[in-house]
Amino acid sequence: MDNFQYCTLQKPAKELKSSALANSRKKRSLVHYDKLWPSRHTLKIAFMDNPTPEHKDKIIAAAEKWLPYISLKFEFVEGVEGEIRIATEGVVNSSFLGTDALDMFPDTPTMNLGIDPEHEDFETVVIHEFGHALGAMHEHQHPKAQIPWNKENVYNYYQNRPMNPLSRGEVDDNIFTPFDDADALYLPYDRKSIMHHPVPNNLTLGNWANPINREISDKDKQLMRLIYPR
């Protein structure tokens, strides 16, 4: 599990500036309505650098795992024409949430897929990041998750990773802070969700752990059908 390449969820600058003032009414939940793409929209996706054709095909194949459960279509276009713009150079795996990508300059990536295409969890990470791009939040931040975190161990783990270490504030934003909003949609907590980070036992109190989820769960499918009905 230490070899798994975790992701971070990116936020537009306007949200970063206001996050310190946010109250519980303003926090996002697992799906926030104003982050969703219009139903039946054709989502334009571009690559900002030059991955090999094989690398690009593997990303496309993984992303399209979502298509049976949504009314959106994917169209792969060139460079700045993309609403979702993917960078594959570097070591970071991250994405903006849904339509937050539209707040970025057109020459800026909105998703980073730094994972090596030969990594055993390449497909899992790509599906996870595209889940964010479709509007899905981290399942381990579900308001009903109640994971018994050992917070100091979690801070130390993420701060001391050799690749893409996180500050305490970034750990709070991506791991601990639950999302709950009357204007948002979430189904019952799902430990099998592909949007759930793996949780090793040494990061929790007592005997609590969650494995790497490598498949889109039934609840993930149900949620996508609800937010992008055909």
In 3D space, the residue among 190, 216, 217, 224 whose CA is nearest the CA of residue 65 turns out to be 216
Residue 3 in domain: no
Please tell me the predicted confidence (pLDDT) of residue 20. 35
Residue 167 in domain: yes
Whether 149 contacts 175, CB under 8 Å:
yes
Q: Calculate ∠ Cα 132-92-137, nearest 5°.
A: 20
Host H or E run for residue 96: strand 93-96
Please tell me the predicted confidence (pLDDT) of residue 19. 40
Residue 150 in domain: yes
Please tell me the predicted confidence (pLDDT) of residue 186. 74
Please tell me the predicted confidence (pLDDT) of residue 162. 79
Total of domains in the chain: 1
Residue 38 in domain: yes
Cβ neighbours for 119, distance < 8 A, ≥ 6 positions apart: 5, 125
Residue 2 in domain: no
The CATH number of whichever domain residue 194 belongs to comes to 3.40.390.10
Q: What is the pLDDT of residues 163-203, one digit of tens each?
A: 778 899 999 999 998 876 555 677 899 999 999 999 999 99
Burial 141-159 (b: 16+ CB within 10 A, else e): bbbebebebbeeebbebbe
What radius of gyration do the chain's Cα atoms show?
A: 17
> What DSSP character marks residue 172?
I
Please tell me the predicted confidence (pLDDT) of residue 128. 97
Q: What is the pLDDT of residues 72-84, one digit of tens each?
A: 999 999 888 899 9
In 3D space, the residue among 113, 124, 130 whose CA is nearest the CA of residue 192 turns out to be 124
Please tell me the predicted confidence (pLDDT) of residue 80. 83
Residue 1 in domain: no
Question: Which residue segment(s) compose the domain that 59 sits in?
Answer: 8-227
Which residue numbers in the chain have pLDDT < 50?
16-29
Q: What pTM value is reported for the model?
A: 0.89
Residue 75 in domain: yes
Please tell me the predicted confidence (pLDDT) of residue 153. 97
Please tell me the predicted confidence (pLDDT) of residue 22. 36
SS3 state of residue 60: helix
Residue 99 in domain: yes
Please tell me the predicted confidence (pLDDT) of residue 175. 94
Please tell me the predicted confidence (pLDDT) of residue 183. 54
